[in-house]
């Protein structure tokens, strides 16, 4: 009976994890703000999403070994706290920056909040994808982006493992067009929440079965190809939320291969620093 119950839990997790994370938690966040609840309610909701992600990774792991810390859990938690705190501080600038734009009156305030958020996600996805694409082609950008690619096991928190400067570059590329047309604070906060959920989904160690959704959303089964070790084989699947821009760039790749321990990382930098402080200074070191 217990074996049967465990099998059912595994199957349900594989099938429902991705839609519950994206549509459940993001939908819940939109509902909270639509109903007039404080922005602060999104903090425990994000914490619940992180907990749900970790539980799902242990219920239906893609690589069981990836659930075990390689002396990197503290480092990854530090990246999460620092980068999410930076994002929260940046959100407070939205009303100021939007009000300074001469095109601020073009935001579609009459649209329902959920539609405004979807529009913001699609626009931000374009800018972030282009910045990500260029980070694999411009050496000075790659030096900052390499921090993210140094991970050798993929699990939810890896999505937040970014050099603060590179996070600032991607964020600027994604939100500048939105700020220019007057994005309101609520939409900016929900966009930031959606990015956090998607980063968990992209790097999750859940053996998710997403079917045709892999052709639309840049979930982990698609994003794992991007983290392949060695040469230029990882120069694919740059999208954050969707595969739309990768299709236009000709960089979308997907097949049914399975990835194993040792498949991820930077092939020519097995010595890449693993400690948080060392990773912050690594991009500034000489060749």
Which uninterrupted H or E stretch holds 245? helix 244-249
Overall residue count recorded for the chain in this entry: 287
Nearest of 148, 144, 168 to residue 75 by alpha carbon = 148
Taking each helix axis from N to C terminus, what angle separates 185-202 and 73-91, rounded to the nearest 10 degrees?
160
- Number of domains the chain contains: 1
Rounded Cα distance between 150 and 146, Å, is 6
- DSSP labels for 4-64? HHHHHHHHHHHHHHHHIIIIIIHHHHHHHHHTT--GGGHHHHHHHHHHHHHHHHHHSBSSG
Tens digit of each residue's pLDDT, the chain (287 residues): 556 888 899 999 999 999 999 999 999 999 999 999 999 999 999 999 999 999 999 999 999 999 999 889 899 999 999 999 999 999 999 999 988 888 888 999 999 999 999 999 999 999 999 999 999 999 999 999 999 999 999 999 999 999 999 999 999 999 999 999 999 999 999 999 999 999 999 999 999 999 999 899 999 999 999 999 876 777 999 999 999 999 999 999 998 889 998 899 998 888 899 999 999 999 998 65
Burial annotation 248-259 (CB, 10 A radius, 16+ → b, else e): eeebbbeeeeeb
What pTM was estimated for this model as a whole? 0.94
Q: Which domain holds residue 247?
A: 2-284
What is the per-residue pLDDT for 2?
Answer: 54
The CB density around residue 132, as the number of other CB atoms within 10 Å, is 24
Please tell me what DSSP assigns to residue 228: B
Nearest of 220, 221, 250, 248 to residue 235 by alpha carbon = 250
Answer for the pair 198, 22: CB distance below 8 angstroms, yes or no.
Answer: yes
Cβ-based neighbours of 242, under 8 Å, separated by 6 or more? 122, 125, 216, 217, 218
C-alpha dist (Å) from residue 42 to 48, 153, 179, 197: 10, 28, 22, 12
Taking each helix axis from N to C terminus, what angle separates 185-202 and 164-180, rounded to the nearest 10 degrees?
140
What is the per-residue pLDDT for 5?
Answer: 83
């Amino acid at each position: 009976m217990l074996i049967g119950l465990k099998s059912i839990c595994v199957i349900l997790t594989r099938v429902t994890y991705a839609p519950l994370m994206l549509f459940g938690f993001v939908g819940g966040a939109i509902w909270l703000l639509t109903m007039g609840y404080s922005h602060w309610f999104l903090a425990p909701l994000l914490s619940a999403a992180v907990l749900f992600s970790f539980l799902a990774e242990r219920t239906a792991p893609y690589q069981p070994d990836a659930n075990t810390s390689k002396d990197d859990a503290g480092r990854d938690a530090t990246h999460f706290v620092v980068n999410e705190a930076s994002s929260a501080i940046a959100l407070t600038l939205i009303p100021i920056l939007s009000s300074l734009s001469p095109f601020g009156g073009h935001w579609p305030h009459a649209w329902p909040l959920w539609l405004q958020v979807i529009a913001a996600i699609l626009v931000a996805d374009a800018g972030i994808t282009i910045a990500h694409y260029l980070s694999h082609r411009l050496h000075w950008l790659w030096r900052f982006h390499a921090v993210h690619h140094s991970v050798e096991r993929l699990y939810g928190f890896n999505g937040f493992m970014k050099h603060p400067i590179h996070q600032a570059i991607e964020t600027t590329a994604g939100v500048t067009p939105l700020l220019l047309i007057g994005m309101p604070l609520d939409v900016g906060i929900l966009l930031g929440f959606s990015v956090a959920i998607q980063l968990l989904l992209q790097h999750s160690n859940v053996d998710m079965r997403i079917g045709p959704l892999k052709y639309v959303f840049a979930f982990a089964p698609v994003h794992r190809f991007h983290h392949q070790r060695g040469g230029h084989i990882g120069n694919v699947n740059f999208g954050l939320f969707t595969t739309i821009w990768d299709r236009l760039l000709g960089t979308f790749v997907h097949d049914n291969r399975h990835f194993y321990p040792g498949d991820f990382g930077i092939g020519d930098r097995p010595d890449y620093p693993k400690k948080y402080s060392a990773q912050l200074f690594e991009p500034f070191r000489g060749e």
